[in-house]
Structure 1
Amino acid sequence: MFVFVLQYFALLLFIFVLEILAGILAYIYYQQLSDDLKTNLRVTMIEKYRVDGDKRITKAVDKLQQEFRCCGSNNSKDWQESRWVKEKLSGERIVPDSCCKTVTNGCGKRDHPSNIYKVEGGCITKLEGFIMAHLKIIGAVGIGIACVQIFGMIFTCCLYRNLKADTPY
């Protein structure tokens, strides 16, 4: 019986240490992830929007801009550098229609603040804010689970001591 209690304690301790290490690694690599996200979002918008024939990228960018009420990676001027505009695939649009506050066909032709989401920092700022808000929730859940594990280890130690005390030598 003692062996099983000790094994249970060791397993809880091992899982707890793994969770601590995962948290430390997530904290260390967050900045690299943030930089990669900025670069990849910009490249995707500039080089792949409505160009490669893969409609999933276009739908994802359009959904991002509508859901987060933003336009472009850093701002709406990012679209002027895109292949979509430079190769005249935009149909005279300055920005995609998904940048419009009220989406109608061709609304991206008129680049006016009353019509276009002019968010300082663009979609990347909104996306980072969304991720940070959800990371706080994930962190709180992680701390809650860690507390349960710590209590489990404490109660396992108490059980071990009681079993040891009840066993005659």
Structure 2
Amino acid sequence: LAGLGTLGLGLWLRFDGAVSELIALHGGTNNFNIACYLLIAAGALMSLIGFLGCCGAWRLSQGMLVAFFIILVLVFCLELACAIVAYSHQDLIRRYIDNSMYETIQEYYAINPEYAAVFDRIQNEFECCGVKSYRDWLHSSWGRDLVGRTELGIGSSSIGKVPRSCCNEDGLRDYPTNCGVSFDKLELWTYEPFLHTKGCSDALYESAYKNLDIAIATSVIIGALQLIGMFLSMLLCCWIGTEAKRNSDY
């Protein structure tokens, strides 16, 4: 069961669109795919190990049960180490993702259509804009007003446009054809009622934390199953040894 759960996790990470899009923002798709395939392979291996344990129990083979126990201990220790590293470095992971999103806005959105499409999809799906807020687009080569509105006496740092994917329902209704991209006539904050005000970083992590309880519960169940498997395999192994010794005495 633990192996099938790991296999399912690897398949989900590999083929889930939202996860793949986040990884694509930093150009790490190849490494991410390799990691997913390794996770899939680990799940398949764990399933095979479980089958080995079942065969050992069925055939009453001490050798197969000992091998099953040793491999299960190694897998459990590896999973525990990965969980500890992920938990202790969660702030670093968040900074990495935030920096990737900032880099996309500031450099790649204007020149790379694939990056632009990924970020637009995230902003649409999570109803967010920018990394921390829509003001992040003022620091991008795509969104800021390079000329400035000197006739209004306003510096260019406060004027700029945002993608259409930043617009909320009011914005799409009042600006059906040019929402966001036409918001460079006045200071950007004047268009705030028409924009998603939440940053995509917070929106993504809020969405992730909604499923955190399920992830924790699943991890605890998998870990408990592995511990039970270790205990039962050693218990059965000891029983087989005792029975073999008893039979030899006769």
After TM superposition, is the score higher than 0.5? Answer: yes
Which letter maps to 2:97? L
Task: Give 1:129-148 correspondences, 5 Å limit.
Answer: 129-148=206-225
SS at match of 2:191: coil
More helix by share: 2
Once the two structures are superposed, the pairs formed by residues 26-45 of structure 1 within 5 Å of their partners are: 26-45=86-105
Structure 2 residue 169 is matched with structure 1 residue 113: no
SS of alignment partner, residue 162 of structure 2: coil
Equivalent residue for 1:80, pick from 110, 131, 138: 138
The DSSP-based 3-state class of the residue aligned with 1:27 is helix
For 2:138, give the aligned amino acid: Q
Query: Do structure 1's residue 165 and structure 2's residue 242 form an aligned pair?
Result: yes
SS of residue matched to 1:31: helix
Asked if the contact 2:167/2:195 (under 8 Å) is kept, the reply is: yes
Number of equivalent positions: 162
Native 8 Å contact 1:93 1:106 kept in 2: no
Match of 1:64 among 117, 122, 130: 122
CA RMSD between the two structures: 2.0
Counterpart pick for 2:161 among 74, 94, 111 = 94
Conserved in 2, the CA contact under 8 Å of 1:12 and 1:149? yes
Cα deviation 1:33-52 (Å, max 9, x = unaligned): 11111111112112221x21
> Given the alignment of the two structures, is residue 150 of structure 1 paired with residue 247 of structure 2, yes or no?
no
Q: CA deviation at 1:87?
A: 6.4
Which secondary structure does the structure 1 equivalent of 2:117 belong to? helix
> 1:20: how far off?
0.7
Instruction: Give the Å deviation of 1:29.
Output: 2.1
CA distance, structure 1, for counterparts of residue 87 and residue 66 of structure 2:
32
SS in 2 for 1:131: helix
Q: Percent identity?
A: 25
- d(CA) in 2 for partners of 1:2, 1:97: 65
8 Å contact kept, 1:47–1:82: yes
Question: Gapped runs of 5+ residues in structure 2?
Answer: 1-60, 147-158, 184-189
Query: Helix, strand or coil for the counterpart of 1:105?
Result: coil
For residues 115 and 95 of structure 1, the distance between their equivalents in structure 2, rounded to whole angstroms, comes to 11
Alpha-carbon distance, 1:4 to partner: 2.0
Q: Deviations over 1:6-54 (max 9, x none)?
A: 11111111111111111111112221111111111112112221x21x2
Cα shift at 1:3? 2.1
AA partner of residue 232 (structure 2): F
How far residue 133 of structure 1 moved from its aligned partner, in angstroms, is 3.2
Amino acid paired to 2:234:
C
Higher RCO by CA contacts (8 Å cutoff, separation 6 or greater): 1
